[in-house]
Amino acid sequence: MTQKPNLDTKKASVYTLGCRLNQSESSVMEQGLKEQGFEIVDFKTDSNLAIVNTCTVTARADSDCRNVIRSYIRRNPDAFVAVVGCYSQMGYKTLSEIEGVDLIIGNQDKMSVLDYVSMGKNEKPLIIRDRIVKEDFTIDTMGQSDSKTRANLKIQDGCDFMCTFCIIPMARGRSRSREMDNLLEEARVLIAQGFREIVITGVNVATYESQGRTFLDVIDQLNELEGIERIRISSIEPTTIPEKIFDYMADPNHALVPYLHIPLQSGSDKILKIMKRRYERQDFLDFIKKASERVPDLCIGTDVMVGMCGEGDAEFEETCDFLIKSPVNYFHVFTFSERDGTPAVKMEEKVSPKEKSHRSSVLRAISERKRLKFYSEYIGREFDVLFESGHDGLWTGYTENFIRVSVEYSGNLSRHIRRVKITHTVADFAMAELVDE
């Protein structure tokens, strides 16, 4: 028996777990819901409809998804609940056992979720989980929810690289690209909506290839758009990066900002080989050294994974040593988690959870020190800052090279780009004063 949900008040919320690509897709879903007349409300308040955009990159991500869904259903037993994304693709059987879930959509069709929201509650969830097709794609809804300063622009999805620890090629499918005209159309809408920074987003962005156009063409075309101010690349795989972007980043008149987030994963050649990454530590080091020589004030961030099978004390120390000595300015630390369907599941020489946790905290501390050192190098220098949010007269934003800056100001700085001088560092940000008043 099906029962129609009460959608008179039309309140909806979208909850996002996982990566920036999910954030980008959720923003598009929110925009689509608004166009259908829904008011977007906080996930913790009552609503008639929830979309949970899931992640399955670790076992912890899976359990976070389940907890979020269950607690929403407890608060809103009559609401329509749609669960979409990577965990829906890989863990649909487990999700279908959660009472109160009405719809489960994998990655092929997740952006069509709004076509199903009026179908009514079901005793058993409808599961839509098609094989992911490798072909160029478009996105119909344009623009994003208006609460943020930086807009994520999805240009690509999926990955062909098959690193041995990674579930993404199974969860999101093989690499495919968004048609150029379609992504440019959204970029124009975002600029018109007042977004001052566009963040190029995807799983493996530099493998972009659509109708003979490459990743460099995407940057060239975005840079030509009227009103574009900042373009940032969210994350880019080593070995895929065209060196031409160094020229763009070094050119103050180009919108591409001097920022590179390049996942290293490990500083040990033995582990890189086990992971089937496509470079050795020296290749990575040579590349980032060249990048920092050619791009003034470049910020280099990276991702590191601890606890991969085979990572003994010696390999971990190699990673620490690499990160301390190389021109990496900060890093995100991830803990290896076995994912069914990946080659790493069958590997030996597992690392204990306690050791993983210890290594993770060691690396986080190194990252914090490096970030602060990076910020300190800019004390006394002036930068343009794009301000995002403010509390109690303290406004925070980012420089082009991703220094997190705070200034005291009694007015409204949200979405403003202002000139500041960095004065000192506090905790994990740089304090500054406005110099263009």
User: Where does this chain bind ligand SF4 (CB under 6 A)?
Assistant: 159, 161-163, 166, 168-169, 203-204, 237
Cβ(48)–Cβ(80) below 8 Å: yes
Beta carbon nearer to ligand SF4, 50 or 199: 199
**CB atoms near residue 11 (< 10 Å):** 20
In whole angstroms, how close is the CB of 161 to ligand SF4 at the nearest point?
Answer: 4
In whole angstroms, how close is the CB of 23 to ligand SF4 at the nearest point?
Answer: 16
> What kind and span of H or E run contains 94?
helix 92-96
Beta carbon nearer to ligand SF4, 44 or 60: 60
Q: Could you tell me where the beta strands, DSSP code E, fall in 181-244?
A: 197-201, 209-210, 213-214, 230-233
In whole angstroms, how close is the CB of 89 to ligand SF4 at the nearest point?
Answer: 14
In whole angstroms, how close is the CB of 169 to ligand SF4 at the nearest point?
Answer: 5
| Kind of pairing between the strands at 404-408 and 429-434 | parallel
Beta carbon nearer to ligand SF4, 117 or 171: 171
Beta carbon nearer to ligand SF4, 168 or 300: 168
Cβ(174)–Cβ(160) below 8 Å: yes
Cβ(8)–Cβ(141) below 8 Å: no
- Give the full edge-to-edge strand order of the sheet including 150-154: 150-154, 197-201, 230-233
Residues 6+ apart with CB under 8 A from 175: 134, 156, 157, 158, 159, 160, 203, 204, 207
In whole angstroms, how close is the CB of 98 to ligand SF4 at the nearest point?
Answer: 27
In whole angstroms, how close is the CB of 85 to ligand SF4 at the nearest point?
Answer: 15
Q: Whole-angstrom distance between the N-terminal and C-terminal Cα of the chain?
A: 65
In whole angstroms, how close is the CB of 344 to ligand SF4 at the nearest point?
Answer: 11
The pair of structure tokens assigned to 204 is: 């493996």
In whole angstroms, how close is the CB of 334 to ligand SF4 at the nearest point?
Answer: 10
> What kind and span of H or E run contains 186?
helix 180-192
Beta carbon nearer to ligand SF4, 31 or 265: 265
Backbone angles phi, psi at 278, to 5 degrees: -105, 25
Gap between the Cα atoms of 385 and 397, Å rounded: 6
| Kind of pairing between the strands at 11-16 and 49-54 | parallel
Beta carbon nearer to ligand SF4, 166 or 285: 166
In whole angstroms, how close is the CB of 277 to ligand SF4 at the nearest point?
Answer: 7
| Distances, alpha carbon 30 to alpha carbons 52, 109, 142, 319, 392, in Å | 12, 16, 11, 40, 29
